[in-house]
Amino acid sequence: MDKQMIDKMGYDRSITMFSPDGRLLQVEYAKKTVKQGSTALGIACKDGIVLVSDKRITSPLLVPEAVEKMFKVDDHIAATASGIISDARVLIDRAQLKAQQHSVTYDSKIDVLSIVKDMCDLKQICTQSAGLRPFGVSLLVGGVEEDGTIRLFLTEPYGLYFQYKAAVIGEGDAEIEPVLQKRYRANMSVEEGIKLGLSLLKEFLKDDFNLERIDVAYVDAKERRYTKLSGDDLKKYGK
């Protein structure tokens, strides 16, 4: 075992310890966990937000509907994840509670950025506290604000977030992102966004593509309402 490997082993045991070259190795491992997760896409369209994700059905005995990759945070906010989905559920439960508390307290819907910031605050705490580990998950959070503004955010495992027009996370990000950049148009409709998301996953998964392993949800800008597609609704887009 070379000296560099021995040195690295000493610094990857604690989340609070920087390596000599200024890296938090546990954070980097969390990012690698996301890259091994199943693929998820988010697309901001002119009339709403579209989220498409691969549930990666690993056994023919598994009930596809039992695999949860798409989450409703509030009527106007949707999320999907890649990485450790049990970690995502903890963040989603917290986000749903925050949205409900805001609605009861202020009699109005919470804005998307507040949800994203709250998620990322907790993620960041887990990068500087002994005895904790980083959340091994990235989330795409999209929604429609009260004024009709359409927003899509990507949250990193270590608490950083960015707003995107379209984004992809998970194992297919390196292959899908260049194609997404070429095909994305700001004036595309929700229907076109769904078709684009499905076609990109189909090209990436190839023979493994099956609508049973795909989750699709969108938030319509006019109604500001979360809708999840399934069954026949999904089949008409997958043709």
**pLDDT mean by block of 10 residues, the chain; 239 residues:** 52 74 85 95 97 91 88 97 96 98 96 97 91 93 96 97 98 96 96 96 94 94 93 76
pTM: predicted TM-score of the whole model, two decimal places: 0.92
What is d(CA 26, CA 22) in angstroms, rounded to the nearest whole number?
A: 12
Do the beta carbons of residue 52 and residue 205 sit within 8 Å? no
Backbone angles phi, psi at 48, to 5 degrees: 155, -175
Confidence at residue 151, expressed as pLDDT on a 0 to 100 scale: 98
Instruction: Give the per-residue SS3 of the chain.
Output: CCHHHHHHHHHCCCCCCCCCCCCCHHHHHHHHHHHCCCCEEEEEECCEEEEEEECCCCCCCCCHHHCCCEEEEECCEEEEEEECHHHHHHHHHHHHHHHHHHHHHHCCCCCHHHHHHHHHHHHHHCCCCCCCCCCCEEEEEEEECCCCCEEEEEECCCCCEEECCEEEECCCHHHHHHHHHHHCCCCCCHHHHHHHHHHHHHHHHHHHCCHHHEEEEEEECCCCEEEEECCHHHHHHCC
Confidence at residue 8, expressed as pLDDT on a 0 to 100 scale: 54
Confidence at residue 239, expressed as pLDDT on a 0 to 100 scale: 61
Residues 135-190: tens digit of each pLDDT: 999 999 999 999 999 999 999 999 999 999 999 999 999 999 999 999 999 999 99
Confidence at residue 24, expressed as pLDDT on a 0 to 100 scale: 82
CA distances (Å), origin 16, targets 11, 25, 65, 128, 158: 9, 10, 39, 5, 12
Confidence at residue 1, expressed as pLDDT on a 0 to 100 scale: 46
Which tokens belong to 216?
A: 């699709």
Do the beta carbons of residue 173 and residue 41 sit within 8 Å? no
Residues 60-71: tens digit of each pLDDT: 888 888 888 999
- What domains does the chain contain, in order, with CATH numbers? 27-237 (3.60.20.10)
